[in-house]
Structures are given as structure tokens and as C-alpha cells.
Amino acid sequence: MTTPTSGDPSSAAPAAADSPSAAARVPVIETVALTKHFPVRGRGSRGKVVHAVEGVDLRLDAGSVVALVGESGSGKSTVARLIAQLLPRTSGDVLLQGSSVRVRLGRSFRRYVRNVQMILQDPFASLNPVHTVGYVLTRSVSIHNPGLSRAERDQKVRGLLEQVELRPAERYLAKFPHELSGGQRQRVAIARALGATPKALLADEPVSMLDVSIRIGVLNLLQRLKSDLDLAILYITHDIASARYFADETVVMYAGQVIERGPSEEVTQRPRHPYTQLLIASAPDADQLAGREERPAKGEPPSLIDPPTGCRFNPRCPFAMDVCRQERPPMFELEDGQKAACWLYDEGRAEERAAAFGAGVAAGITNGVAVA
């Protein structure tokens, strides 16, 4: 339990394993200190802003999945919208294959979305009910691939349907969205995104609205597309168990900031940040019926208009020290590529930590095994 072996076969992500040069390659999408503040409207709120996203660094590589996990209101969807250029960012940068992008409309926007496509949560709302599947996909193909002949275009549309496992394609071309089940609709939405032959997919809760029995099917499809097409996928979810199943890397957000990141297996099996520990302890788990302890952290996420000083989790954190109320913690590097923004991991504060909780508890926290 103390040192996880890096050779653990279950944690080795296949895509990352067979591309040792991944680190040297230019990431498909990179965000640097991405920040978004929304102005607050209304009386008495002049100059106030909602600190929706602050200083988020992400790196999406071809052929890998990064999961962005957090509660509603943690800013995870805003990050996707910023990357998709649907919202202008306040500061920070979004890089597409190494070059900074800031587009709003017109041709430059269209050129950008050819590379970066989004899949939305609700396929009941994201497909126009008055158009057939064939029309929706043909539009996508002809917009993003100008100059194709009609035969080539039709062939590509059929290919898209085959790719998302809607076979035989002919059966689906003339269908309207209401004739399809939720899972089939989400597959059409994925096919539409693939019509642009993108390099990156931003999937914002792609399975949350689907029936439980078909969610895994859609995730498995995305997994296969990722390896077949060498896609970089940002998977936004509130379900950390599905992040473990599907993503190579997991990034946990709380109140607009990244608080922990690392390989999915490490983050879910040995959560370091007290919030991640709380999140994992709260998830329903039938195997842990007997060993469930009292939850130490109560309360609710903070207001983002007037966030707490220091660490934003400090009002709810059972381990909060003085420094947590004063200074925002930086990302501390831990073993196995895991990082946590928590003062508990500051080597210079081992004594303070031990004094506050006793040496035993402090060791338990850092091993990610004990919550209180």
C-alpha cells in the first residue's frame, strides 16, 4: 500500500505505453493558466466577478484521454467552452499544436473547429429535430470537407455511421432524431463531430443523460475512436469512477481551480488532496458497505464571487492549517506523476502538519489512505 508499483498492469494506459515519445511531441491542445471571470450584473455588484476558472493548465495529447472531474459549478464545462472558443478567455492561453489561438467568428473560427470538436451532454437537445441523420451528417461533411463530389460525400457519411457502430448505415440515414434512442442519438452527435476529422474532441458529460445500461457502450466507442483515429479527448464528468475506467489522466477541479492531477489509477486509488479523498469516499460503493466511516468534511462549495482566501477548500477541509487560510497552495509534485495543490504536501511544513494532527494521521494523509 505504501509504494504502488509503476508496473501495475491495470494502471498502464495502452496508448501512453506504446508512444514513449509522447512527452516530446507537441500536444494537440494545451492551456496555460487559463482564466475566466464572468462579470456580475445587477445592483450593488459593480466590478464584482465570478471567478469561474482560474489558472487551469491542461495538456491533451493525441491518442489519450484526460478526464476533468468536479462538482457542478467547479468550472469544468467553462474550461471546455474556453478551449472550444465559445467564450472569450479573461487571461491565459489556449494553444493548438503549439500556436496560440483566439478566434471568435468567421473563417478562422471554422478553421479552428475543424480541429477541435465538441460533444454535448444532451443528445436530445443537440440534434435538430427537424433534420434527418443523413442531413445532419452531410452538412457536417460538406462544411468541413469542401470540394468533395456527391458520391465521395455520401460515402463519407456512411463511413461515419459505420464508425460509430450504427450499422447498417442505410437504416439510419433517413431517420429523425426522435426515432432514435438516447444512445443512438449520442452516436450520431459523435459522428457529426467526426465529420470534421478533428484532432481533439471535447466531450462535456457525454454519457450523463444516457441510460445506465448503454453508457459503457458509448464510452467504449470513444475509447476505440481514440486509438483508431489518434484523437485527443477531454472527458468532462462528475463521475470519478468512469474517469478511472476511461481516462489516462485525471484532473480534479474544485471552485474553478485544479487541485489534483495525475494518472487516473493513482488519483482514484491514492487520492492526495483532501477534496479528492472526500469525493472518492462519497461515491457509492457496494464493496465498502462495512468499512464506511463518518465523513469529516461537510458544507458546500464556496461562492465564486467572493471565494475564500488561501486554499478554496479550507472552510470544509478537516486538515486546514493556518497557512491554508492565507496563501493559495501551489501544485506539489508527488510520486508517480501525481500532483496536488495542498499545503499538506509541502515538505517544509512536515513539522506543522505533525503538530496539528499527530505524526500518525499526517502520514496517513500523505499516503492517501486515511480520511481523518
Partner 1 sequence: MTLLDAAAAATPPRERKPVLEIRDLSVDYGYDQNAVHALQGVDLTLHAGEVLGLAGESGCGKSTLAYAATRLLPPPGVITGGSVTFTSARDGHGGDLLRMNDAELRAQRWRDTAIVFQGAMNSLNPVYTVGRQLVDGILAHKPRTRDAREQARARALELLEMVGIPKDRLGSYPHQLSGGMRQRVMIAMALALEPEIVIMDEPTTALDVVMQRQIVEQIMQLKDELGFSVIFITHDVSLLLELADRIAIMYAGRIVEDASSEEVYKMPRHPYTAGLLHSFPPLRGPKRDLAGIPGSPPDLVNLPTGCKFHPRCPYAFDECKLTDPALGPTRFGAAEPERQVACLLNDERVAPGPIPLELGVRPEGDRIA
Among 43, 178, 212, 293, binds partner 1 (CB under 8 A): 212
Among 98, 213, 293, 348, binds partner 1 (CB under 8 A): 213
CA neighbor of 264 nearest in space, from 288, 237, 287, 291: 237
CA neighbor of 130 nearest in space, from 121, 142, 139: 139
* Of 119-127, 153-161, 278-286, 357-365: span binding partner 1 (CB under 8 A): 278-286
Residues 34-73 that bind partner 1 (CB under 8 A): 71-72
| 94 backbone dihedrals φ, ψ, rounded to 5° | -120, 125
Q: Which strand (E) or helix (H) includes residue 269?
A: helix 264-269
Of residues 73 and 198, the one with the C-beta less far from partner 1: 73
Of residues 183 and 329, the one with the C-beta less far from partner 1: 183
| Shortest CB 327 distance to partner 1, Å | 25
Asked if residue 237 binds partner 1 (CB under 8 A), the reply is no
Asked if residue 150 binds partner 1 (CB under 8 A), the reply is no
Give the CA count within 13 Å in the CB-facing half-sphere of 204: 20
Of residues 108 and 367, the one with the C-beta less far from partner 1: 367
* Of 106-114, 138-146, 197-205, 211-219: span binding partner 1 (CB under 8 A): 211-219
Asked if residue 259 binds partner 1 (CB under 8 A), the reply is no
Whether cis (ω within 30° of 0) applies to the bond prior to 20 is no
Of residues 108 and 181, the one with the C-beta less far from partner 1: 181
List strands edge to edge, sheet with 332-333: 116-119, 200-204, 232-237, 64-69, 249-254, 257-263, 339-340, 332-333
Cα 70 from Cα 162, distance rounded (Å): 33
251, amino acid identity: V
| Shortest CB 280 distance to partner 1, Å | 7
| 65 backbone dihedrals φ, ψ, rounded to 5° | -115, 130
Asked if residue 367 binds partner 1 (CB under 8 A), the reply is no
- Residue ranges in contact with partner 1 by CB under 8 A: 10-11, 71-72, 181-184, 211-217, 220, 238, 240-242, 244-246, 265, 268-269, 278-290, 295, 297-298, 300
